[in-house]
Amino acid sequence: MQREVMFAGFGGQGILLSGKILAEAAMAEGLEVAWIPSYGPEMRGGTAYCLVAISDQPIGSPIVRTPSHLVAMNRPSLVKFAPTIKPGGVIVINSSIIDIGSNRSDVDELRVPVTDIAKELGNVRAANIVALSAFVARSRIVGLETFKNTVDVEFAKKPDLRSINLAAVEAGISAALKDR
């Protein structure tokens, strides 16, 4: 079965990296993956999104109009993509800066103040990892242990960011489980 996750927000919020980490984690579980960015004149403060397709079969068309899940880091992203998500999907909303809901009763909506949580941890730039972790904990699209290892490997190259991102993983997971 193929599932797709849309990550969307402002340029600079780490959207593309969130998607890449999820794709790496799925690959580590032996699944087929494709990561597709929005590309072109994207810049800090502009819009950015990427789609990650994960499947147990070779991926035919990675381009879908109705993704399975959404991680919305800002309000325009939620407004744009929430109506397209397949019924039963998970929608993670960055409630620190989004004051509306998905307006969907057929999805699993998870509101997490990821920007505030990242600020409390000491670096607002870890908000993407909080959101991704909350999403993974809620959807279980990949195993939590695989996911944690993947984040660890990703930030092994950047030792000054490693501990805060590992803390962001734990904070995101507990936020997702607390809400349930």
Partner 1 sequence: MGKVLMKGNEAIAEAAVRAGCLNYFAYPITPQSEIAEYLSRRLPEVGGVFLQGESEVAVGYMIFGASGCGQRVFTSTSSPGFSLMSEAVSYITGAECPAVFVNIVRGGPGLGGILPSQADYFQAVKGGGHGDYHLLVMAPDGVQEAVEMMMMAFPLAEKYRNPVLILGDGLIGQMMEPVEFPENLRSEPTNKDDWASNGMATRNSDTPNLVKSLFLDPRALNDHNLKLKAKYERMMREDLRYEAYNADTDYQALIVSFGTMSRVCRTAIDALKRQGIEVGMIRPQTLFPFPEKAIHEAAIRPSCKVVLSIELNMGQMLEDVQRAVLGERPVHWHGNAGGDIPSPEDIMDLVKSFL
Q: Residue numbers of the site for partner 1 (CB under 8 A)?
A: 20, 23-24, 27, 32-37, 39-40, 59-65
- In whole angstroms, the minimum distance from the beta carbon of 153 to partner 1 comes to 12
Q: How far is CA 180 from CA 7, 82, 168, 173, 174, in A?
A: 22, 20, 19, 11, 10
- In whole angstroms, the minimum distance from the beta carbon of 58 to partner 1 comes to 9
Q: CA end-to-end span of the chain, whole Å? A: 26
Closer of 41 and 99 to partner 1 (Cβ): 41
Closer of 24 and 109 to partner 1 (Cβ): 24
Report d(CA 156, CA 17) in Å as an integer.
Answer: 15
- In whole angstroms, the minimum distance from the beta carbon of 170 to partner 1 comes to 25
Q: How far is CA 104 from CA 26, 37, 137, in A?
A: 27, 26, 21
Q: 165 near 40, Cβ under 8 Å?
A: no
Closer of 33 and 110 to partner 1 (Cβ): 33
Closer of 54 and 175 to partner 1 (Cβ): 54
- In whole angstroms, the minimum distance from the beta carbon of 163 to partner 1 comes to 24
Q: How far is CA 113 from the centre of its chain?
A: 14
